[in-house]
Chain A
Amino acid sequence: EAQVTQNPRYLITVTGKKLTVTCSQNMNHEYMSWYRQDPGLGLRQIYYSMNVEVTDKGDVPEGYKVSRKEKRNFPLILESPSPNQTSLYFCASIQRGQAFFGQGTRLTVV
């Protein structure tokens, strides 16, 4: 079954404590992307990757890092989380305009 697996689903953390949200896809897609979703703002792209070792900033990259060492994995790293990064995060694997999403990570930074 084609899927994007994102973990954890829920995370509460404290300001400044580094965290990683994992994302893995089994469809061999080259293009992957991270989004955050906040009420009234829709999906905003954080970072994207067009292939292994190729990553680029989206619209709201500040405070985030990513890596793409293998095609299937695209982790999102928050080196020093802050309360304004409290949000719902989605990882997506995209091909020909169709996006396959992970189930989302609801992150709260206190």
Chain B
Amino acid sequence: RKEVEQDPGPFNVPEGATVAFNCTYSNSASQSFFWYRQDCRKEPKLLMSVYSSGNEDGRFTAQLNRASQYISLLIRDSKLSDSATYLCVVGPYQLIWGAGTKLIIKP
């Protein structure tokens, strides 16, 4: 079993729709959680940290469910520019990376 698992997709979503995807992690001692975004084989960039109480940044909402060991990312009112691969990352000491979920927003 992989330490961090994500559905690879692709998720094909019409512009303006809401999309959500999850990421599961195996180490119950994990303490830090992040979502990164990666565009077409460029370097990953931090999208947002995930806090225990859940957090929101504009159209993006991240949530953590420790009991079931998963984190989620919700994107509302999706834009064409949201098309990317979204990487789930679990820490804190050694960052463990999921393989990513590919999202394609269609006009």
Chain A residues within CB distance 8 Å of chain B? 33, 35, 37, 40-45, 48, 88, 90, 94, 96-99, 101-104, 106
Contact of A42 among B41, B42, B97 (CB under 8 A): B97
Contact of B97 among A43, A96, A97 (CB under 8 A): A43
**Residues of B close to A106: CB separation below 8 A:** 41
Whether the pair A104, B43 counts as a contact (CB closer than 8 A) is yes
Whether the pair B95, A40 counts as a contact (CB closer than 8 A) is no
Chain B positions 54-79 with a Cβ under 8 Å from a chain A Cβ: none
A sample of 6 cross-chain residue pairs with beta-carbon separation below 8 angstroms, ordered by A number, consists of A43-B44, A48-B94, A94-B95, A97-B95, A99-B36, A99-B46
Distance in angstroms from A48 CB to nearest chain B CB is 8
Evaluate whether A42 and B34 lie within 8 angstroms (CB atoms) in the complex, with A88-B41, A97-B92, A99-B95 already known: no
Distance in angstroms from B91 CB to nearest chain A CB is 4
Distance in angstroms from A35 CB to nearest chain B CB is 8
Report how far A106 CA is from B40 CA in the complex, Å.
13
